[in-house]
Amino acid sequence: MDQQTDDRQDGERAGAERESGPDPVDIYVGGRIKLRRTLMGMSQERLADALGLTFQQVQKYERGINRVSASRLKHIAQALGVSIAWLFNEHAGAGAHGAAPGFAEPQTGFGDDVNDILQRREALEVVRAYYRIGSPAARKSVYDLMRSLGTDPES
């Protein structure tokens, strides 16, 4: 087979994939990229600049429209300060209720999915404010306070 035939067949396969929609794994990884970027307060433009891309390409990665190559995944993970495995948290066997980044123990009581909670603006603002607390002792006190307030005394 010549190179043109290989390229055409690859393009036909890619077109067939697009007709049926993005792969669920691509959507999940894109969502994890967006989650981490948002938690960091990083814009799509800033991530794109760090990767030498356009913000539109970052948007396509985050939506799962475009697949992320292995080398690009490595660069994205580095830019976001996480491991590649973090981007595959659920698919790597940790489950949908894995720990939020930076917290010492898994969180419970989130309902359907911790990622759904972290997509809410209020939750993101709380997480950002928490990480702006410079003193580890003060941060632990705030964490303990939040846990105590979140505990239902009736249960």
What is the domain range of residue 69?
A: 3-119
127 within some domain: no
Does a structural domain hold residue 124?
no
Q: How far apart are CA 25 and CA 88, in angstroms?
A: 8
Residue 132 domain-assigned? no
- Kindly state whether residue 88 falls inside one of the protein's structural domains: yes
Output the average pLDDT for the chain. 75
Q: pTM of this prediction?
A: 0.56
The structure tokens 């702006």 sit at 132
Give the CATH number for residue 23: 1.10.260.40
* 22 domain-assigned: yes
Range 86-92 average pLDDT: 69
pLDDT at 71 > cutoff 70? yes
Predicted pLDDT at 89? 76
Joined together, the tokens standing for residue 32 give 């994890």
Q: For the chain, how many structural domains are there in total?
A: 1
141 found inside a domain = no
**pLDDT of 69 strictly over 90:** yes
Q: What average pLDDT does this structure show over 107-134?
A: 68
Phi, psi at residue 66, to the nearest 5°? -110, 135
Percentage above 70 pLDDT, the chain: 66
* Residues 26-47 pLDDT 10s: 998 998 999 889 888 899 999 9
Domain assignment present for residue 27? The answer is yes
Q: Under a CB-based contact definition with an 8 Å cutoff, are residues 107 and 97 in contact?
A: yes
Note whether residue 145 is domain-resident: no
